[in-house]
Amino acid sequence: MRELPFDATDPRLAAAAWSRLVEPGDPAAGTLVAHLGPVEALDWLVGVVRRGEAAGARPWEQAVARWAPRLEHLDVRRELDVLARLGGHLLVPGDPGWPAALDDLGEARPFALWVRGRLAAGPDDGARRQVAVVGARAATTYGQHVAAELAAGMVEAGVAVVSGGAYGIDAAAHRGALGADGHTVAVLAGGVDRLYPAGNSALLEAVVAAGGVVAEVPPGCAPSRSRFLARNRLIAALGAATVVVEAAWRSGALSTAAHAATLARPVGAVPGPVTSMASAGCHRLLREQAAVCVTDAAEVLELVAPAGAHLPEPPAVQPGLLDGLDPRAARVLDALPARASAAVASVARTAGL
């Protein structure tokens, strides 16, 4: 095997290389890099492949066999050039802009993030709250309306919105945040040079301009089903809470909710009509997985804010005619005719006094 054409002793380049070498969420790669670091892990892999030790049935040999085909032509400088032309930047663990929330994933943490736009809304974003809003692609008008309203209400309260850029609920959440001039982040399953789905490319360009688009795979990588499922753990980790607006019984949005629960993040679910299959997954979360019922932005904010910080003001209550009266007086007043006079005996009979 030839030598790698880039400086493999550079931790940033090595981290970027691992994001190209392995599929997102690969447990063996996560363990290896977590224990050795990206540079030493890459050096170990190159040595194993050079010695021809990739074949076999043992778990590590199987892992090396998965990674070796991509090692032959690996040169992350090409992907970094594409990212630079797009005005993007690379983030690796330890960088000032790295989202600390992703560290909760442990060995499943991404090796690097390929970013267009800004993941953080401002310099004080270290303490800033973000909420993941997810749901069905085949969303109803009701679901899209609720998602947009939730997102708008959250960004007006200074909370950013994280979603996946897909059709349906994801797109409605991004639009709601953008419409309220708020910050929103889209986590993609493919490279940031391939805004997917294509029908949402204009929306995702708007997200880049006002917020950020991010992926754990480099430019040039196509979205796939397995990458969508792995991407869900990032959405769950980036959100201080996850809200499922609409989801069918086996919706992928339930995967995001499951990741959030594993990370000890609150999960909210929006109820829908009991006859709607589009809400069956939300009702399943409420019934089986202790999700919190949420119906507006204030209730979502309760999941992530200090207790009582976002409670709505109680409505003003007009005093009633019977307020302050003792029970006997209230019965007498209640017995008076609405539009006529009455004798005392009649009132006493009606009141039962």
pLDDT digit string, tens, across residues 293-333: 999 999 999 999 766 565 666 666 666 666 778 889 888 88
Write out pLDDT tens, residues 101-125: 999 999 999 999 999 999 986 655 5
Query: Which domains are assigned to the chain?
Result: 11-74 (no CATH), 86-304 (3.40.50.450), 320-352 (no CATH)
State residue 326's pLDDT score: 87
Question: In whole angstroms, what is the distance from residue 1 CA to residue 269 CA?
Answer: 52
- Tell me the DSSP string of 233-245: HHHHHHSSEEEE-
- What whole-number distance in Å separates Cα of residue 342 and Cα of residue 321? 19
pLDDT score, position 72 = 87
- Give φ, ψ of 200 to 5 degrees: -105, 15
Burial 7-31 (b: 16+ CB within 10 A, else e): ebeebbbbbbbbbbbbbbbbebbbb
What are the structure tokens assigned to 231, written together?
A: 């991407």
Is pLDDT of 10 > 80?
A: yes
Model confidence pLDDT, tens digit, residues 160-215:
999 999 999 999 999 999 999 999 999 999 999 999 999 999 999 999 999 999 99
Burial code of 225-264, b = ≥16 C-beta within 10 A, e = fewer? eebbbbbbbbbbbbbbbbbbbbbbeebbbbbbbbbbbebe
190 and 218 Cβ atoms separated by less than 8 Å: no
**Cβ contacts of residue 323 below 8 Å, gap of 6+?**
none
Lowest mean pLDDT among 45-54, 129-138, 167-176, 268-277: 45-54
Q: Which residue has the higher pLDDT, 338 or 211?
A: 211
Residue that wins the pLDDT comparison between 39 and 129: 39
- The answer, yes or no, to whether residue 260 has pLDDT greater than 60, is yes
Which residue is it, tokens 């307020």? 323
Q: What is the pLDDT of residues 272-301, one digit of tens each?
A: 999 999 999 999 999 998 899 999 999 999
The mean pLDDT value of the chain amounts to 91
Contacts 24+ apart (CB under 8 A), 41-45: 41/14, 42/4, 42/8, 42/14, 42/17, 42/18, 43/8, 45/21, 45/71
pLDDT recorded at residue 335? 85
Structure tokens at 348: 């006493």
Does residue 269 contact residue 218 with C-beta atoms inside 8 Å?
A: no
